[in-house]
Amino acid sequence: MKKIRLGVNIDHVATLRNARNDDFPDLLSVSKILKNVGVNNITVHLREDRRHIKDDDVRSLKNENILPLNLEMAATKEMKNFSLEILPSACCIVPERREELTTEGGLDVRNQMNYLNEFLPALNNKTQVSLFVDPDPDQIKAAKELGVSAVELHTGKYSNLFKKNNFHSELEKIKKSAEYCSKIGLNCHAGHGLNFENVKNISLIDEIIELNVGHFLISNAIFVGLEKTIEKFMKIINHPKSK
């Protein structure tokens, strides 16, 4: 049986922490939990507006080296310089628009070949680069031409269609794209919007070797952890008073 690598995106832990401008919940403690349960990578997206992960978070995750670090970032000069300073184990290039809630589509690699041809070599020499693309063979072919080691297939559309039980043709595109990656010698990762219900179909695709999952895993931790947390709190506040 193949074992798929799991990268957990901890951006939303940082969002909670930032709500109080404090250091709780702290990313390093969370990373240790992830390591203990067998997660393979920590994924963080350093956005232009630093809305969740901050530069120093990336530095300390890299320095503490609890798990290999996968840095998601836009293809900007600022991010490239930062990545070359930090040298994460992997770097996933994503499209980024300031006003979006999350990464809303794949990178248009084909239409940015000239720019990416200039942009990528320094990163390709220092780390494992993947490009976050829609499940489209032409985008995958363009990624291969740029010499990256992997693509991450955007599963957001599939995840949305899954809710409407109308996902079969999108799943087929993901399968065909994964097969194409294998045929041309590109590692195939996938991620976005995955959860307990929709991930099975994706995990059955042989060529997909890594998943990156964030929002669902961090959110579901509320449902498995809230009861225990409240119970502990109630024990503390209802402790018999010593006279």
The residues of the shown chain that bind ligand PXP, judged by CB under 6 A, are 9, 11, 45, 72, 92, 94, 102-103, 132, 152, 191-194, 212-216
Please state the closest distance from residue 200 (CB atom) to ligand PXP, in A: 15
Nearest to 130 by CA among 108, 145, 151, 113: 151
The verdict on whether 45 is a catalytic residue reads: yes
Work out how close the CB of 96 gets to ligand PXP at its nearest, in angstroms, rounded to a whole number.
Answer: 9
- Calpha distance 6→120 (Å, rounded): 25
Distances (CA, A) of 98 to 48, 103, 156: 7, 10, 18
Nearer to ligand PXP, 142 or 214 (CB): 214
154 given a catalytic annotation: no
Which is nearer to ligand PXP, 10 or 86 (by Cβ)?
10
Beta carbons within 8 Å of 221's beta carbon, 6+ residues apart? none
CB of 64 to ligand PXP, least distance (A): 21
The catalytic position among 96, 170, 192, 210 is 192
- Residue 57 CB neighbours (<10 A): 21
192 flagged as catalytic: yes
Q: Catalytic positions, please?
A: 45, 72, 192
